[in-house]
Amino acid sequence: MSDIYTAVVDIRETQLDPVAALDFVSDPRFGGIDMFIGKVREHNLGRLVTGISYDLFEPLALRTFEAIGERARREIGAPMKLYIAHAKGDLSLGEIAVIVAVGTPHRDEAFRACRLAIEAVKHEAPIWKQEHYVDGDSAWSEGCSLCEEHREAERAAPHGTKAHAHGHEH
Amino acid sequence: MKVRIRLFGALRDADANGYIELQVPEHCTIAELRELLRDHLRTHAPHISAGLVQRSAFASDDEILHNHRTLPENGQLAILPPVSGG
């Protein structure tokens, strides 16, 4: 059995399941488990949010999740189980959009691999978020360009005071 | 050859079918396809900004295709606007 699990979950069929993630990464070899759960929150950039629709390019999203898992394994250099699942469809406030869970021998590897994986999912996977607001308006979120030439231009540009390293916050 | 470009995210607004079909030269590169798509959208979906197409990546089911690459033989592509998962 593979020790990397990846999934795109159609929210019309089922919810994302943190218990399943915990079960998958549990192993007698592992003393450390870290899990990140991303949920739909009420506010974004000062606007009241009622829900989020997620659009995914599924075949490439799954390949990207697997590549992220392999990168995390190389990076931490320890035995590891990794679970990445992302929701697809229309989510309401408080519903789970993404789960990343990692099991490793010790906590440091688990924290590092989990952080690496969730950041990579947000910045590299072909997933798009459309926010719906209380006033009836909707908007696609500003995102990270996957276009090589554009990413290089962003890296070369001086950054302002924003915390995020490529010119926008999310 | 004819290519079919699947649309995602904000670019879904470019065509209600969820894809755009274009007639393009054989051995066309991704950079050339980007120009052809921009011309097509200028006429057929003027509400889509040229900047959004510029910031978008092209992909097959398997990988991102950067500007120097040629089109996949099966003519099936996706255009991926800036991503915002999580």
The count of structural domains within chain B is 1
A55-64, A93-102, A146-155, A160-169: the lowest-pLDDT one: A160-169
Which amino acid is it at A52?
A: I
Q: What is the pLDDT of residue A160?
A: 44
DSSP secondary structure letter of residue A167? S
Q: What is the pLDDT of residue A150?
A: 76
Best mutation target among A138, A140, A152, A164 (most B Cβ atoms within 10 Å) is A140
Q: Minimal CA–CA distance to A25: which of A75, A76, A84?
A: A84
Question: Which stretches of A77-136 are DSSP H helices?
Answer: 107-124
**Is the per-residue pLDDT at A149 higher than 80?**
no
Q: Walk across the sheet containing B2-7 and list its strands.
A: B19-23, B2-7, B76-80, B57-59, B64-65
The answer to whether residue B59 is domain-embedded is yes
Interface check for B74 against chain A (CB to CB < 8 A): the answer is: no
Query: Burial of A48 by CB count in 10 Å (0-12 exposed, 13-18 middle, 19+ buried)?
Result: exposed
Which band of pLDDT confidence, cut at 50, 70 and 90, is reported for residue A163? very low
Interface check for A145 against chain B (CB to CB < 8 A): the answer is: yes
- How far the first Cα of chain A sits from its last, in Å, is 35
H helix or E strand, kind and range, residue A24: helix A18-25
For chain A, the domains span 4-156
Determine whether the interchain pair A57/B64 forms a contact, defined as Cβ–Cβ distance below 8 Å. Answer: no
Which band of pLDDT confidence, cut at 50, 70 and 90, is reported for residue A169? low
The answer to whether residue B37 is domain-embedded is no
Interface check for B49 against chain A (CB to CB < 8 A): the answer is: no
A-B Cβ pairs (cutoff 8 Å, strict): 102
Task: Specify whether the CB–CB gap between B45 and A96 falls below 8 A.
Answer: no
Q: What is the pLDDT of residue A75?
A: 96
The answer to whether residue B32 is domain-embedded is no
Establish whether this prediction's ipTM goes over 0.90. Answer: yes
Question: Which two three-digit tokens encode residue A96?
Answer: 């789970």
- Say if domain A4-156 classifies as CATH 3.90.1170.40: yes
Q: What is the pLDDT of residue B8?
A: 98
Q: What share of chain B is helix, strand, coil (3-state, %, to 5)?
A: 30, 30, 40
**Is the per-residue pLDDT at A80 higher than 70?**
yes
Q: What is the pLDDT of residue A109?
A: 97
The answer to whether residue B55 is domain-embedded is yes
pTM: 0.92
pLDDT digits (tens, 9 = 90+) for B49-73: 999 999 999 999 999 999 999 999 9
Question: Which stretches of B14-60 are DSSP H helices?
Answer: 30-44, 50-55
pLDDT digits (tens, 9 = 90+) for A35-70: 999 999 999 888 999 999 999 999 999 999 999 999
* Chain B residues close to A123, C-beta within 8 Å: 83
Interface check for A122 against chain B (CB to CB < 8 A): the answer is: yes
- How far the first Cα of chain B sits from its last, in Å, is 37
Q: What is the pLDDT of residue A159?
A: 52
The answer to whether residue B35 is domain-embedded is no
B39-48 burial code (b ≥16 CB/10 A, e <16): ebbeeeeeeb
The answer to whether residue B85 is domain-embedded is no
Averaged pLDDT, A146-170:
64
Range of the domain at B23: 2-27+42-75
pLDDT digits (tens, 9 = 90+) for B30-55: 999 999 999 999 999 999 999 999 99
Q: Minimal CA–CA distance to B59: which of B25, B83, B86?
A: B83
pLDDT digits (tens, 9 = 90+) for B20-31: 999 999 899 999
